[in-house]
Each structure stands twice: as C-alpha cells, then as structure tokens.
Amino acid sequence: QKEVEQNSGPLSVPEGAIASLNCTYSDRVSQSFFWYRQYSGKSPELIMSIYSNGDKEDGRFTAQLNKASQYVSLLIRDSQPSDSATYLCAVNQGGSSNTGKLIFGQGTTLQVKP
C-alpha cells in the first residue's frame, strides 16, 4: 500500500463546476497535510494546509480532513480553466517518526473545460 494515494485522473469538469480531489494516507499519526498545485513544467506551489479535523476554506478552495478515516480532500468551487493542473497531496509523518519527510501522492490531473 502506498503511503499517500491519489487517483491520477484526469479529472475533467466543466467551467464553473465543483472539482473534488481526494487523497488517503496510511500513517495514522500523521499531523500535517498539504495540497500543492503543479502546472506542467513548474514547481509545486502551496494551495492549502490543514492540521485539524474538519473543513478549512480559503477563497474558492476548501480542504477537508478526516483523521479517523485517514483521508483529506480538496474542493475547488467555480472551477476555472486556469485551475487545470496537477494537484499533489502531501502528508508529513507525525509522532516520533516525524523526521521532516513530506510524502507526496502521485497527483491528480485536473482539466477544467471552458
């Protein structure tokens, strides 16, 4: 089992729709969770970070964390063509093994069609 799993996609949504990106992780004591966006040929840029169970909203983005179920999701409302990119879920190992290693999923490619 991969430590951080994402559906590679592509996930295709029409402009203006809600895009839902999901991620599951295996390390139960993980404490920090991040969503990065990566445009083709570019480096990852942070979209959201979340540390506590529940929802965290920032503009059109909402991150959701459920530690009991070991999943984290990212919702993008009113999707725009400029949102088309690969979205990387990253989980920082927690507990006594917290050594700084940020484990990334393989990424989900999102395509927003005009």
Partner 1 sequence: GAGVSQSPSNKVTEKGKDVELRCDPISGHTALYWYRQSLGQGLEFLIYFQGNSAPDKSGLPSDRFSAERTGGSVSTLTIQRTQQEDSAVYLCASSLWGPTDTQYFGPGTRLTVL
Pick between residue 19 and residue 89 the one whose CB is nearest to partner 1: 89
**By CB under 8 A, residue 42 contacts partner 1:** yes
Pick between residue 54 and residue 114 the one whose CB is nearest to partner 1: 54
Ramachandran region, residue 110 (left: φ > 0; alpha: ψ -120 to 50; beta: rest): beta
Q: How far is the CB of 58 from partner 1 (least distance, A)?
A: 13
Residue 19: closest CA among 56, 61, 47:
61
**By CB under 8 A, residue 45 contacts partner 1:** yes
Ramachandran region, residue 10 (left: φ > 0; alpha: ψ -120 to 50; beta: rest): beta
Q: How far is the CB of 38 from partner 1 (least distance, A)?
A: 9
**By CB under 8 A, residue 18 contacts partner 1:** no
Whether residue 10 has a cis bond before it, omega within 30° of 0: yes
Q: How far is the CB of 17 from partner 1 (least distance, A)?
A: 26
Query: Is 106 buried (19+), middle (13-18) or exposed (0-12) by CB count in 10 A?
Result: middle
**By CB under 8 A, residue 40 contacts partner 1:** no
What distance in Å separates the CA atoms of residue 111 and residue 49, rounded to the nearest whole number? Answer: 22
Interacting residue with partner 1 among 11, 13, 17, 103 (CB under 8 A): 103
**By CB under 8 A, residue 92 contacts partner 1:** yes
